[in-house]
Structure 1
Amino acid sequence: MSRLSEQKDQQSYTEVSTFQISDGLPRNMEPVKTSRIFLAAVAANLSAFVVGTCLGWTSPIGPKLKSADTSDSPLDRPITADEDAWIASLIAIGALIAPFVAGPLADRIGRKWTLLSSSFFFVVAFLLNMVASEVWILYLSRLVQGFGVGFVMTVQPMYVGEISTDNVRGATGSLMQLFIVSGILYVYAIGPFVSYMTLQWCCIVLPILSDVVFFFMPESPYYFAGKGRKTDAVRSLQFLRGQSAEGVHDEMALIQANVEEAMATKGTFMDLFKSPSNRKALFISAGLICFQQLSGINVVLFNSQSIFASANTGLDPAIATIIIGCVQVSSSGLTPIVVDRLGRKMLLLISSSIMSVGLAALGAFFYMQLVVKDISSVLWLPVPALILYNIVYCTGFGPLPWAVLGEMFPANIKSVASSVVASTCWTLGFLVTRYYPALDALGAYYAFWLFAIFMVVAFFFVLTVVMETKGLSLQQIQDRLNGKRN
């Protein structure tokens, strides 16, 4: 932007401010229309719905690819167990690389345009699925899907955290999990009952629709302020708050002050570790993300049908998987309602403790399946165990680590931190998904009991390390991380 245009922008903002002060009306008396915030957050989360379709894709597609009957497979032979593991896990490789592109891109071209660009990867990936005739094309498709997933899960928390007011940030931040599991349910419900090719068509239209809707939403006011585009930032806030220029004046002044302070000390990768507050924020955010992945969620999502088939409960695996998907959606819908009442910490404690019980029960079932001759009396156990697990995951460790990430770092380091944390997430996601079959070969109970132990450790991590951010402004969170009480 030229110096002349910056001066004009500043002049325009000054004129607005002067009008606000001279008309004699008290500021901030206009109510904030939170419906506007939720509208923009929902539009941004349509990309998370697409992420869900990618995460759940292997559950209905895996049995088609492994079947000896290749009439509904793009391949001319069944895939091996090792190939199945690579197809399931390669999405994580793309997702762990993408944040290091998406984070800087979000600072350069904006949160909105970076999020819109994620759809390119999804469309290309589903097109590759349609033309796949060799396993390596499916590998490539999953890598490309992973890039799209990495873009969304790096930038979407930044965008939603920056457009939200303090009193609804927990609710808007937890919407991502609701949309992800809704996307998962979409492929769970359609995939087993349509052909391979039909499912790809059902999936490819979603990123296109997502972009069409989100295109009409405003850019983050923090991004505009950081680029010196104060008038654009005011207009963005006016749309998001449903207020006049006068109504958003004080908030705009606070955003401008925070951004200017942050930009004066532009953050780098090393700044994550130099500052005690950033180190603490990184430890909390990365720790929560690590435990999210060590809960075994990707194993459950990618292999739901296979888990139910191996459990031999007598219930159609496709139907059981749909039941789990419905549970995920309904329980994820609770989080935006209760998170700003109960707080992040309480929900995380409840989530980790009950998940450990559900995983331990699932492990016990598979153990009894091996050592007990007659398990007819406990054939019912896997379904309620997985339902219990999914309910508390979707209300706690599913959405809240991302919500915390979106509010834990100052503006100058947020994109770097988001890249590091998102890559940490998918590095562990890859390792867990890729090597689960090795544990499963020894006995599925080993894997589920190991996940249960991690959730016990997660409980004490949340209890002793994680700070509560309910009702705090972004500046108050930074003050707490720096040891100040306000």
Structure 2
Amino acid sequence: MSPMTLLLQSPNSPRDPPLTDGEVSWMGAAAYLTCVPADYFMAFLGDRVGRKPALLFVSSVAVLCWVLKLSSMETWALVLARALVGITMAGSYVTCPLYTKEISEDSVRGLLGSVVTLFHCAGNLFLYVVGDVLPYRAVLWLCLALPTLHLVLFMAMPESPSYLIKHGKLDEAVRVVAWLRCRREDDPHVLNEVDLIKNEQERDQESSKFVLKAVVTDRLMSRAFRIALAVALAREVCGAIPVLNFAGEIFTLAAGGARPPLSPNQQAMALGAVQVAGSVLASSIVERAGRKPLLLTTALVSGASMCALATWFLCRRWGAELPASLPVLALCLCIFCDAAGLQPVSVVITGEIFSFKYRGTVMATTMAASSFAAFLQMLFFKPVANVVGLYAAFYFFGGVCLLTALYVVLVVPETKKRRIDEIYEDLKTKKEILEEKKNVIDKKSIQE
């Protein structure tokens, strides 16, 4: 949205008349509103027909989105195309993390899970650059080529081993795991991994057929669900979404009539480059640093940067002079932290604290909640900022980040290279642990 918003609202807009603030707000918000039901649809589709067909469907919808933008510049067409983006968002942050987790070894699942965010950030930077240097329609044709290429390449990829085992295709699952691990089909490591997946799914069969009911009624899964929901909402309400989508306009407001050395779009490019740097850092250290320390550090730093940015806008409103570079530095720090921890770690943790049966539904529910929060931000950020002031919005985002840091310290368990039963041990209260020990001792006494 950022590079195209300024163009489509300018006197040089390829659309006549230029877009209004209301139309831009709905374009920005439509994707997040559609994403709410699409999250559940993609989870259902991935469980019913498979992860691979679901991801191919996502790319097909992306193709349709860009074709629609190429075909018409009417407001309804632009809003509808953005609404279709909600489906691709759901696929990218529900189906893609599930598929990635299910094909990954435990030793690299954090790394590969964070790669989703790396490519998301690289895509943002790509659009900032091409949106600034290429004509409007050339950008659309270039974007159309990407999902088309994915449709062709991904047809050669295998289905998720967990999905194959769930549907009784054990021999095919062994072949897929052997191919993924570059081992022979009779290798003990391959057979052991297949057995672990099979045993996990057999344990799931003992619980309720209604997935959400089981998640809510089981005390440990309920705690895990609250953690997944909290980190997902923190990811969306840290301030990164409105900053990224309206970066050019925020930098224009920060300039306050002065002519900055870089144009608003060029400053947004710098922001995108910082985001890519953050995601590269996340993918390189997530396995060494662990999920919890990385999430805690980035939440703290992001909260401090948002509060500093809010203070800058508030001081300027009172007529105080502060360094003009502060907004750029604060925004870059916030986006860096979002890409380095808040965004990738929240996705990785959600995928790691639930088994196959619950993973898709929980991922869809947390994504739906965060998508609705993002929809509200996109719809009301500009109107609220115009009425109240940017400082109020950024103080709110900073407060959310700081509360997230406190929550991580007190509640969130470490999930790095740990099985689900090990993670759930950390979710038990001291009273529950003592009761379990007492029950074990009583059983031994009875047997003796």
* Equivalent position amino acid for 1:370 in 2: R
Aligned partner (choices 454, 466, 471) of residue 400 of structure 2: 454
Provide the C-alpha distance between the structure 2 equivalents of 1:276 and 1:253, rounded to a whole number of angstroms.
27
1:470 corresponds in structure 2 to: 416
Provide the C-alpha distance between the structure 2 equivalents of 1:128 and 1:370, rounded to a whole number of angstroms.
42
1:326 corresponds in structure 2 to: 273
Provide the C-alpha distance between the structure 2 equivalents of 1:134 and 1:250, rounded to a whole number of angstroms.
56
How far the C-alpha of 1:481 sits from its partner, in A, is: 4.3
Q: Aligned in 2, Cα 1:356/1:157: closer, same or farther, shift over 3 Å?
A: same
Identity of aligned residues (%): 29
Provide the C-alpha distance between the structure 1 equivalents of 2:265 and 2:349, rounded to a whole number of angstroms.
34
1:311-354 Cα offsets, whole Å, 9 max, x none, are: 11613111111111111112211112211111111011101110
* Equivalent position amino acid for 2:198 in 1: Q
Aligned partner (choices 216, 233, 252) of residue 156 of structure 2: 216
Provide the C-alpha distance between the structure 2 equivalents of 1:448 and 1:439, rounded to a whole number of angstroms.
11
1:16 corresponds in structure 2 to: none
Structure 1 segment 165-244 matched on structure 2, within 5 A? 165-244=105-184
1:398 corresponds in structure 2 to: 343
1:61 corresponds in structure 2 to: 4
Q: Aligned in 2, Cα 1:250/1:267: closer, same or farther, shift over 3 Å?
A: farther
Q: Aligned in 2, Cα 1:479/1:235: closer, same or farther, shift over 3 Å?
A: farther
How far the C-alpha of 1:212 sits from its partner, in A, is: 2.1
Structure 1 segment 361-372 matched on structure 2, within 5 A? 361-372=308-319
2:254 corresponds in structure 1 to: 311
Provide the C-alpha distance between the structure 2 equivalents of 1:470 and 1:151, rounded to a whole number of angstroms.
24
Aligned partner (choices 269, 275, 288) of residue 341 of structure 1: 288
Does the 8 Å CA contact 1:94/1:150 hold for their aligned counterparts? no
Task: Indicate the RMSD between aligned Cα atoms, in angstroms.
Answer: 1.6
* Equivalent position amino acid for 1:89 in 2: A
1:444 corresponds in structure 2 to: 390
Aligned partner (choices 426, 441, 444) of residue 371 of structure 2: 426
Aligned length: 423
Provide the C-alpha distance between the structure 2 equivalents of 1:417 and 1:367, rounded to a whole number of angstroms.
40
- Which ranges of structure 2 fall in alignment gaps of 5 or more residues? 437-448
Answering whether residue 231 of structure 2 is matched by residue 288 of structure 1, we say: yes
Provide the C-alpha distance between the structure 2 equivalents of 1:159 and 1:325, rounded to a whole number of angstroms.
26
How far the C-alpha of 1:479 sits from its partner, in A, is: 4.9
Provide the C-alpha distance between the structure 1 equivalents of 2:173 and 2:408, rounded to a whole number of angstroms.
36
How far the C-alpha of 1:111 sits from its partner, in A, is: 0.9
* Equivalent position amino acid for 2:366 in 1: V
1:274 corresponds in structure 2 to: 217
Answering whether residue 208 of structure 2 is matched by residue 262 of structure 1, we say: no
Q: Aligned in 2, Cα 1:472/1:281: closer, same or farther, shift over 3 Å?
A: same
Q: Aligned in 2, Cα 1:231/1:480: closer, same or farther, shift over 3 Å?
A: farther
1:251-300 Cα offsets, whole Å, 9 max, x none, are: 11111111222245444222220111221111011100111111011101
TM-score by length of 1: 0.84
How far the C-alpha of 1:68 sits from its partner, in A, is: 2.3
Provide the C-alpha distance between the structure 2 equivalents of 1:429 and 1:197, rounded to a whole number of angstroms.
28
Provide the C-alpha distance between the structure 2 equivalents of 1:232 and 1:277, rounded to a whole number of angstroms.
33
How far the C-alpha of 1:438 sits from its partner, in A, is: 2.3
Does the 8 Å CA contact 2:414/2:423 hold for their aligned counterparts? no
* Equivalent position amino acid for 1:219 in 2: E
Does the 8 Å CA contact 2:313/2:391 hold for their aligned counterparts? yes
